[in-house]
Amino acid sequence: MTARSTGSVGSGLGEWLLQRVSALYIGAFAFTSKLVTEAEELRRLRWRCRRGLLELELILQVFVEQAYARLLPQERAAFGRLLSEPDPALLEYINGTQEAVDEELMCIVRKIRQYPDF
């Protein structure tokens, strides 16, 4: 009888250990997937910041590298929409010679303007 109870404890310990290792593996996978997703998002943003106007490209790339991580999710979405604007309009927004109709876009434009390297 004692052998069985020891065997049960041993198998219980094995199950517990398997659950812990599985939980750690799944947690590590989720963390790695999140990092890959964030890295992929930054890679795509860097590509979308490439513009025909070099001064615009430099402003946007510096903002992405140094400030994008601190944006809220709705601000990130607005920044993505801002990158869909044509270069001349985008440059006018950033220079302040024209206002975007969308207030969320203008909030991001103001953040870009306020950024120290601007």
Residues 16-51: tens digit of each pLDDT: 666 776 666 555 555 545 555 778 888 899 999 999
Q: Which pLDDT score is estimated for 88?
A: 94
Where does the chain show beta strands of DSSP type E?
none
Q: What CATH number corresponds to the domain at position 113? A: 1.10.150.250
Name the residue range of residue 106's domain: 51-118
* Cα(39)–Cα(110) distance, integer angstroms: 25
Residues 46-89: tens digit of each pLDDT: 999 999 999 999 999 999 999 999 999 999 999 999 999 999 99
Residue 5 has pLDDT above 80, yes or no: no
Q: What is the DSSP string of 87-109?
A: HHHHHHHHHTSS--SSHHHHHHH
Same structural domain for residues 44 and 80? no
Same structural domain for residues 34 and 21? yes
Global pTM exceeds 0.85: no
